[in-house]
Structure 1
Amino acid sequence: MKVNWEGIFPAVTTKFTADDELDLQMFETNIKAQLEAGVDGIILGGTLGEASSLMDDEKDTLVKKTVEIVDGKVPVVMNIAEQTTKGAILAAEKAKANGASGLMMLPPMRYKADDRETVEYYKAVANSTDLPIMVYNNPVDYKIEVTLDMFAELAGCENIQAVKESTRDISNVTRMRNRFGDRFSILSGVDTLALESLVMGADGWVAGLVCAFPKETVAIYRLQKAGRIEEAREIYRWFLPLLELDINAHLVQNIKLAEVATGIGTENVRAPRLPLVGEERAHVLGLIEEGLKTRPTLPDYLNL
């Protein structure tokens, strides 16, 4: 299935049972809620998906199950976060074999590769597969930035098609457009900068709080795309205190609590992560409760 790198791509959480097994029933409930809300793709195995704690066979299961659930409605994108080029190539092969339509790729993990090494890493994987690739550019969390000069080198790989822009520098959207035009699709990767990025010309949003609030997230995107910026802004202003739960070290626990509150998830995380406790838990629950209490009435955004 072709990946059109445009619109809302939830970076979905991985659901676990209380016995630390994959909870495929609740996972399916959440994916169906995303599809009903009108998302444009599903991303598996990102930070929110607790990728670093997943076993290889679990990743295989998640891709296969998601492909089955979406049934061709939207593309399924698998994140690649590997320590070696060999491992990344193998992960790309497995993702394709399991039915994924595209890849999201972080730079090499653990080892802080320099610019040349990072470019060669992306090129090697891109040249090993025909799956389309979105570069995950998040130097804040992963300490390696894919610069404009590096993107210029990667432009020769036709299947490197998009960037998840998570540098926290809103002007990077304009810098990418000024230098490359439409060569790369740009998707905002920071919930608290999403509407700003879309207004500045980003093509989409790799979203986090969408896991709990899919309709509100898609509504913001669709409204701004239709030029109804004021309506999008009002929903976004309501959403912002919740979106800030995504830019936090405990984003997985935060968002899973929100999924519980909206009935499409569980709180279970995989150790070493632990559920929130004490004042932190009370604070997050308070934000979620206030958000639910003041939840906006949405227009018919799917028919704009």
Structure 2
Amino acid sequence: MTDTLLRPAFSGVITALVTPFKNGEVDYDAFAVHIERQIAAGVHGLVPVGTTGETSTLTVEEHKQVVRFCVEKAAGRVKVIAGAGSNNTSEAIELAQHAKAVGADAVLVVAPYYNKPSQEGLYQHFKAINDAVQIPVLLYNVPGRTVVDMSNDTVARLAKLPNIVGIKDATGDLERISYMRTEIEGNFSYISGDDPTLLGYLAHGGHGVISVTSNVAPEAMVALYTAGHQGAFETARQWQDKLIRLHKVLFADSSPSPTKYALSRLGICTDEVRLPITPCSAAVRPMVDEAMTRAGLELA
């Protein structure tokens, strides 16, 4: 059984940062503004170059520079968990080594996509990273994108490795955490990767969320988490009610295009994305505007 007296290494609202673009290049000025807004709002961590950061369309050098920039701007004020996923194990190791070299606190490593590895293949992939780099690793299970589901048994097996410290669970299946909590010893971090189910995830013993919504409404997400973490579920439900439409509409078009559109409405960055993602559609934009207004945000 999990020792509830131990504190997890990672918890709270951890923003899956967008990567701002301008005229086809990474817009580091906008990225700096975005990072500062997140920290000022009280988020507990930042994830550069995850799915929401469009890592799949960044070059390796861009990926590394975005991580370095985020670490430098955060300057130890919040934890930085660098995306280091790849369907090529050696490349994932390279990205994890770079994250460690520039001072990231941990890496977030998605299950290898497209190759469709077996459970043994998944285990060996993460074990190779664990063995190669002395940096905390959060597993990332998102079968809707990777077409492979990391089983609970595989997660429990991986949790025995010294550098595997937690999981971002983006399955939306709230039963999983109860199983994992009964099978995994120690202070393993259970992090939701699904904003709409964060409230339920906390009730099941989760420690936080790697959030898309907090790009847009960081203060409200911190308030939701804080209430849920403290067991004030009536207050947490009130925040959830304000945010639920925003949680959903940010995926009404290919992510992160609605999130970038929302940030453009706040004057933070352009809505530019990279192909094969296209800008948020005209049909979805008013839905985003309405959800932002319901969440109490003032549009530029």
TM-score, normalised to structure 1's length?
A: 0.90
Q: Work out whether 1:116 is the aligned partner of 2:117.
A: no
Q: Which residue of 1 aligns with 2:73?
A: 69
- Give the counterpart of 1:138 among 135, 142, 153: 142
- Give the counterpart of 1:12 among 17, 32, 53: 17
Distance of 1:206 and 1:293 partners within structure 2? 23
Residue 251 of structure 1: SS of its match in structure 2? coil
Instruction: Give the Å deviation of 1:247.
Output: 4.0
How many positions carry a matched residue from both structures? 290
- Give the counterpart of 2:201 among 189, 197, 201: 197
Instruction: Give the Å deviation of 1:5.
Output: 0.9
Q: Work out whether 1:168 is the aligned partner of 2:168.
A: no
Mapping 1:38-57, distance limit 5 Å: 38-57=42-61
Instruction: Give the Å deviation of 1:251.
Output: 2.0
Q: Work out whether 1:152 is the aligned partner of 2:119.
A: no
Instruction: Give the Å deviation of 1:77.
Output: 1.2
* Paired residue type of 2:9: N
Mapping 1:286-297, distance limit 5 Å: 286-296=286-296
Instruction: Give the Å deviation of 1:122.
Output: 0.3
Residue 149 of structure 2: SS of its match in structure 1? coil
Q: Which residue of 1 aligns with 2:255?
A: 251
Q: Work out whether 1:206 is the aligned partner of 2:210.
A: yes
Distance 1:247 1:273, change over 3 A: closer
Distance of 1:181 and 1:189 partners within structure 2? 22
Q: List per-residue Cα deviations over 1:280-299 (Å, max 9, x = no partner).
A: x23x32223223433349xx
- Give the counterpart of 1:271 among 275, 279, 299: 275
Instruction: Give the Å deviation of 1:166.
Output: 1.1
TM-score, normalised to structure 2's length?
A: 0.92
Instruction: Give the Å deviation of 1:182.
Output: 4.4
The farther-off stretch of 73-82 and 243-252 is: 243-252
Distance of 1:63 and 1:127 partners within structure 2? 22
The answer for unaligned runs of 5 or more in structure 2 is 1-7
Contact 2:191 2:208 (C-alpha < 8 Å) held by counterparts: yes
Instruction: Give the Å deviation of 1:46.
Output: 1.1
Distance 1:156 1:226, change over 3 A: closer
Residue 57 of structure 1: SS of its match in structure 2? helix
What is the RMSD of the two structures over their aligned residues, measured on CA atoms?
1.7
Contact 2:249 2:291 (C-alpha < 8 Å) held by counterparts: no
Contact 1:235 1:296 (C-alpha < 8 Å) held by counterparts: no
Distance of 2:44 and 2:84 partners within structure 1? 20
Distance 1:109 1:293, change over 3 A: closer
Instruction: Give the Å deviation of 1:93.
Output: 1.1
Contact 1:33 1:264 (C-alpha < 8 Å) held by counterparts: no
Q: List per-residue Cα deviations over 1:237-275 (Å, max 9, x = no partner).
A: 121111013445512101111112223232011122221
* Paired residue type of 2:270: T
The answer for unaligned runs of 5 or more in structure 1 is 298-304
Contact 2:113 2:147 (C-alpha < 8 Å) held by counterparts: no
Q: Which residue of 2 aligns with 1:300?
A: none
Residue 76 of structure 1: SS of its match in structure 2? strand
Distance of 1:119 and 1:170 partners within structure 2? 23
Distance 1:265 1:199, change over 3 A: farther
Distance 1:293 1:168, change over 3 A: closer
Instruction: Give the Å deviation of 1:107.
Output: 1.7
Distance of 1:296 and 1:227 partners within structure 2? 24
